[in-house]
Chain A
């Protein structure tokens, strides 16, 4: 079953605008990751934020994590048409004993981002 929900389900913006996507989750986590998927392709890892981190940057990407609210956001600044894709958050952990949960990711429903040139 899916851990969390993403909001919005679809986002349509113009090139140059910023895009913000939100992700909520339900259980405690070790980290939260954001991935991008172009249509019909595999996922590309964008950024990983650990549970003890609050904000992380990578190029035009900014990710925040609020563990008290069990939520994260992904901000893409100065969007480009090439950013058009589906974006998924995924939670990892907690890595307790038992092994079966070790390294597993639970994905959100995803946000379909369309950037118009």
Chain B
């Protein structure tokens, strides 16, 4: 089945550091990928939709300059948390929708746990 790889799985860094998270579709091409954020014991909140070759679409309330998204190829999207602060600590998960068509499931990476000290 379709596999999405997310890296790194765990990051601890100092406040002010920028952190890049990669999301790769391993066996299919994904023109669209999605980035979510999840707080402990809560559901997933969509942050942005990553579109290959064009700008990402951000959800209301998500700072574009804070969470930079690049989708440079059909198999790779990156999320960069710029100048991270403790309040950015969270579990970030990416997903990619398996083509073709509308009624296809999304396949998720294993998530990245980000801890900002």
Seen from chain A, the residues whose Cβ lies within 8 Å of a Cβ on chain B are: 2, 30-31, 33, 35, 40-45, 48, 50, 88, 92-93, 95, 99-100, 102-110, 112
Residues on A with beta carbons closer than 8 Å to the beta carbon of B106: 33, 45, 103, 105
Residues on B with beta carbons closer than 8 Å to the beta carbon of A99: 57
Tell me, in angstroms, the Cα distance from A112 to B103 when the chains sit together: 26
Q: How many pairs, one residue from A and one from B, have CB atoms within 8 Å of each other in the complex?
A: 67
Residues on B with beta carbons closer than 8 Å to the beta carbon of A42: 4, 6, 93, 108-111
Residues on B with beta carbons closer than 8 Å to the beta carbon of A108: 43
Q: How many residues of B sit at the interface, in one of the four size bands?
A: 20 to 34
Q: Is B74 an interface residue (CB 8 A)?
A: no
Q: Is B78 an interface residue (CB 8 A)?
A: no
Tell me if B111 and A95 are in contact (CB < 8 A). Answer: no
From the candidates B4, B49, B111, name the one contacting A40 in the complex (CB within 8 A).
B111
Tell me, in angstroms, the Cα distance from A74 to B52 when the chains sit together: 34
Residues on B with beta carbons closer than 8 Å to the beta carbon of A104: 34, 46, 49
Residues on A with beta carbons closer than 8 Å to the beta carbon of B41: 112
Cβ contacts B73-117/A at 8 Å (1 or 0 each):
000000000000000000101010100001111111111010000
Given A30-B102, A41-B111, A103-B49, 15 additional A-B pairs, CB 8 A: A40-B113, A42-B109, A42-B111, A43-B108, A45-B107, A45-B108, A48-B104, A48-B105, A93-B102, A95-B102, A103-B32, A103-B97, A104-B46, A105-B95, A105-B106
Q: Is B44 an interface residue (CB 8 A)?
A: yes
From the candidates A45, A102, A109, A110, name the one contacting B105 in the complex (CB within 8 A).
A45
From the candidates B43, B57, B93, B97, name the one contacting A110 in the complex (CB within 8 A).
B43
Q: How far is the CB of B47 from chain A (nearest CB, A)?
A: 11
Q: How far is the CB of A116 from chain B (nearest CB, A)?
A: 20
Cβ contacts A to B, 15 pairs, < 8 Å: A30-B102, A30-B103, A31-B103, A42-B109, A48-B104, A48-B105, A50-B103, A88-B44, A92-B102, A92-B103, A99-B57, A100-B49, A103-B49, A103-B97, A104-B46
